[in-house]
Structure 1
Amino acid sequence: MRDWGEPRVLNDVGPPRHTDFESFYAASLRPLTVQLYAYTGDLGTAQEVVQEAYCRALSRWRQVAELDDPAGWVRRVAQNLATSRWRKARTAMAFVRKHREEYSPEPSPDRVALAKAIATLPVKQRRVVVMFYLADLSVREIARQEGVAEGTVKTRLRRGRAALATKLGDKEECRD
């Protein structure tokens, strides 16, 4: 778009020439960001891809500055980056849809009660109960992992089971 406040030189053809990157950047940043915002529909994405395109232009500024339209080069790079992001996002979404976990119903009331009861156990008993019943570790493996004797693990398991039986109302388990 032409600024009508400035007189135009008749032999001026094409975009203005910039010999230094700083002046080129200052003159073209806003228009390119606006264009990429229109292209992507997201201002943050537009700003990111435009900045990345400018970084790439800076690294090869000698060649880019010689082009007829350096801003066009930056625009094309930014558009390519935006398109690449879109494709990666689309591929990721397809992967997520394909590998989405099956719907699992909400936990049963018994399971909720058990989780609440386990949460009330002292930390050492809770760890041993969880490792034994949920992680399927042996008493020997738990003892080695916790750095305690096997007898200590057995005691914690017995006490944890008794506390859970009391909280859950199963008196049969307490006799074990």
Structure 2
Amino acid sequence: MTRSTTDEAAAPQLPSPKERRRLREAKSLSEEQVAAAVGVTRATVRSWETGRTSPRGRKRALYAKLIAPEPEALATTAPAAAMTAPTPVPTAPETVPECAAEPTPAPSAEPTHGPAPEAPPEAAPEVKAMVVTEADTDTGTGTDTETDTCAETVGERRLSPAEAFDELYARTAPGLVRQAYLLTGRRALARESVERAFQLAWHRWPEVAVDRDPAGWVRAAAYEYAMSPWHRLRRAHRHPDAPPTEPGKQALFDALLDLPPAYRRTLLLYDGVGLDLPETAAETEASTPAAAGRLMTARAAVAERLPELASAATPAEQSALLHDRLGGLARAEHVPVPRPARAVRTGSEDRARLWTRAAVAGVALLIAVTGLTLHTAPTHYEPPISPAERVGGVPPRGGPQKLTAQDLKLQKTLREQLAHGPERLIPQLR
């Protein structure tokens, strides 16, 4: 055993990234305080809590000691073995099983500070069907059956990358289209956002396949594309679709679209998808108190449009009512069905192939233009010819006056007659 292997085995185990954030906030520690204590930057701490990187060596030990839960809090949280157990990572994307498409999130407790609302109750079967699966039935989500089937599938064979992608697409794409419709109010944009998100996921499948939550990765990409402000410049997506005709659903539809994008996304993730508050805050890139404030403000704004929501006695009742209303609104509208997974995969490959060819053509054109310029460029400097300019200040031409007719006659006579002078002396020989 090498020294690096020994150090890794002796290093303390860390909880999941979302649990790290929850433990830090439970101790009322900010990212700046943790960064100063460990000796890193705030961006490094944020990357540890999002799962992009993990601390090593002495920093890992300091970080684990800093966020370690209090002894009295261990009784109310998940067992230490379950919390610190490392997640098995496949050696290659081809070995990703079907169950890796949507892992079960680790249990987490709400932070003890900030205006955090109560945890939402168990979502109704029809709401979970809206969010997770394609079928709109009232028979439940079938989590136990899927888990058992997944275990049997893992024991029998390994899924190929295309099969794992198709399984993830079939399980999550229809629900994501409904969620994107609730975010944007545009059916065509909702379908386009989900397909673009899955195209990006297939393009980066080696990274998505080993992610702890591939469905969450795709959901975040779809939300970011759907809520991009650049869609306002497109004529097809400049205005939302017609609202529902039923008064109650129309009021909820208008209330959602009147919310700011960040508040609308927080409300949908917490009350529609069913994420807990730390997970909602992590996906919206906000602190847990800020996410709690957005959630309470969004609920208050929606309650002004829905009298039955305002009459709810507790936040738990409000959350349950919003679960039902969001699920009913998403199922009532005729949201377009996404294209087959194979078409999405080929579209992603065609797009990547097109951009590759465009890049190659651009480089070739640049090389050709550069060669032509070098071939036709002059080898020495030629000063340019100055443009003509009008010269001023020159005196007028002077000279004798104009000859008269008599002067011209005399001049002519003189030129015609020979001059009569002395004869030329010619020497003669004697």
TM-score category of the 2 structures, normalised to the smaller one: 0.3 to 0.5
TM norm structure 1:
0.41
Q: Which structure is higher in RCO with an 8 Å CA cutoff and minimum separation 6?
A: 2
TM norm structure 2:
0.18
Q: Highest Rg: 1 or 2?
A: 2
